[in-house]
């Protein structure tokens, strides 16, 4: 299962620099708007210390961490919903991702231009959010026109229900309430899924700070953004994209030493990836043996056959049972045989809801 996150923001806020650091890939980074046109796409491993521990026990030939796909989407500008700055194309790129990482500039640098010629992270955030609202309202407008015509001819009850819901959503959007903050019922959430609205996507805010701000906590731009985000119920992760890009090029041992020198427990990149993982309601199960230790991503709430299908569709079609024990039981016991001897191995059927940290062996027949 590969879920995706899009790095979004105004031009020249550090999106591509951050993307390069997250994915350790080479992208074009320039000091002008729209240096990125088509989205850069790459995968990045999700940092999980459990993989290392499981590997130490099984000593496998191969190790496969779970990954997240990241999209570096070109900078949006005011008027994007009208097509300004290639806005239609960029908004369409955002529709393709599952979560949004919105990068906001919180550093001063006269050598790097800002499209508004001022540093105001709250205003920058609102420009993007407003464009996403307008784009959703355009989708609603187009759909209502079509559905209203249909109702006049058929008086279809489902269509009438849809019209009522879309009008309610649109009214809330008029008041600046994005879809993710609108209290929709489960049925309503199912009804809006096909529209792939932009403002329903979960968001994490990334404050791109300057190098000096790593040691100097008195950043008025960051403080203003954090206060604003708190009111909106959004998480803010502050990173210095330039430093993160340098850290990403280091070997693991050097990286640990460098972070220690900067008095940072976890790199900003790791924080972003983990926050995105959490936003998407994801968890990890493992398959482990002498040939391979593999971490697999699943959505919380999925049942054993669905998770088996992530490995291979045949596993789901012919699912018989799952032999499962938890990561903590493995660490306490020291190896798989001792887990079994301690009676910690469980046999689970089709209705078992998978848990984060489950180590599984699926039995199937096709």
Annotated binding site for ATP: 12-17
Q: Is the dihedral of CA 84, 173, 12, 220 positive or negative?
A: positive
By three-state DSSP, how is residue 168 classified? Answer: helix
Residues 6+ apart with CB under 8 A from 225: 104, 106, 121, 122, 125, 205, 207, 236
Give the CA dihedral 315, 321, 327, 330, nearest 10 degrees.
-120
Measured CA to CA, the distance from residue 150 to residue 157 in angstroms comes to 11
DSSP at 76: P
> What tokens were used for 119?
């540093």
Task: Write the DSSP string, 128-153.
Answer: HHHHHHHHHHHHHHHHHHHHHHHHHH
Measured CA to CA, the distance from residue 96 to residue 350 in angstroms comes to 31
By three-state DSSP, how is residue 93 classified? Answer: helix
The stretches of 233-343 forming alpha helices (DSSP H) are 241-248, 252-261, 268-279, 304-311, 313-317, 327-333, 336-341
The stretches of the chain forming alpha helices (DSSP H) are 15-23, 49-58, 87-95, 121-154, 157-174, 186-192, 220-232, 241-248, 252-261, 268-279, 304-311, 313-317, 327-333, 336-341
DSSP at 353: B
Measured CA to CA, the distance from residue 154 to residue 332 in angstroms comes to 65
Annotated binding site: 12-17
Measured CA to CA, the distance from residue 334 to residue 271 in angstroms comes to 29
Measured CA to CA, the distance from residue 160 to residue 118 in angstroms comes to 47
């Amino acid at each position: 299962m590969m879920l995706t996150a899009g790095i979004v923001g105004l031009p020249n806020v550090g999106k591509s620099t951050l993307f390069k650091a997250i994915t350790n890939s080479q992208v074009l980074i320039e000091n002008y708007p729209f240096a990125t046109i088509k989205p850069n796409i790459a995968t990045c491993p999700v940092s999980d210390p459990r993989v290392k521990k499981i590997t130490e026990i099984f000593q496998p030939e191969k190790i496969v961490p779970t990954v997240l796909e990241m999209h570096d989407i070109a900078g949006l500008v005011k008027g994007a919903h009208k097509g300004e700055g290639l806005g239609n194309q960029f908004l369409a790129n955002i529709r393709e991702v599952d979560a949004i990482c919105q990068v906001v500039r919180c550093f001063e640098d006269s050598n790097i231009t800002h499209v508004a010629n001022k540093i105001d992270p709250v205003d920058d955030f609102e420009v993007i959010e407003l464009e996403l609202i307008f784009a959703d309202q355009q989708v609603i407008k187009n759909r209502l026109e079509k559905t209203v015509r249909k109702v006049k001819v058929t008086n279809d009850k489902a269509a009438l229900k849809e019209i009522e819901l879309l009008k309610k959503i649109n009214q809330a959007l008029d008041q600046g309430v994005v879809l993710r903050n609108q209290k929709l019922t489960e049925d309503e959430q199912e009804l809006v899924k096909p529209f792939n609205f932009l403002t329903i996507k979960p968001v994490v805010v990334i404050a791109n700070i300057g190098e000096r701000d790593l040691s100097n906590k008195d950043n008025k731009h960051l403080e203003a953004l954090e206060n604003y985000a708190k009111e909106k119920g959004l998480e803010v992760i502050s990173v210095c994209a330039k430093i993160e890009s340098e850290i990403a090029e280091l070997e693991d041992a050097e990286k640990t030493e460098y972070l220690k020198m900067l008095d940072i427990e976890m790199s900003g990149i790791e924080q972003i990836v983990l926050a995105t993982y959490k936003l998407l309601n994801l968890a990890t199960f493992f398959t482990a043996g002498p040939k391979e230790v593999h971490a697999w991503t699943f959505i919380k709430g999925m049942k054993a056959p669905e998770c088996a299908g992530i490995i291979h569709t045949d596993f789901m079609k012919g699912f018989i049972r799952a032999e499962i024990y938890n990561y903590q039981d493995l660490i306490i016991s020291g190896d798989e045989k001792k887990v079994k001897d301690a009676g910690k191995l469980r046999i689970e059927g089709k209705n078992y809801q998978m848990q984060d940290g489950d180590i599984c062996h699926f039995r199937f027949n096709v």
